[in-house]
A = this chain, B = another copy of it.
């Protein structure tokens, strides 16, 4: 695993223990980390295009600005469900979401 990627993962609150650091994540874990990272990025891009603040988007999602901030970071304390709901509220299509997941 690249240093860069580990930093990203750890910053989002995922534990990459000293053992796993050498063993690496399982393919399944890795796939999920990737999905979340790409969904987070997709949301940020969607929101930027709309030129709206996290607070404004939060209202559409019926949540709070702090939680949108967490979604955009791909934080471990945010569910996939919540990420998807946020994306849909930001106007993303099922297809766009699928593309982010497959990436």
Q: Residues on A close to B: CB < 8 A?
A: 27-28, 31-32, 34-35, 79-81, 84-85, 88-89, 94-95, 97-99, 101-103
26 contacts between A and B (CB under 8 A): A27-B88, A28-B85, A28-B88, A28-B89, A31-B88, A31-B94, A32-B81, A32-B84, A32-B85, A34-B94, A35-B84, A79-B79, A79-B80, A79-B81, A80-B84, A81-B81, A94-B101, A94-B102, A95-B102, A97-B101, A97-B102, A98-B98, A98-B99, A98-B101, A98-B102, A99-B102
A58 vs B28: C-alpha distance when bound (angstroms)? 15
A36 smallest CB distance to B (angstroms): 9
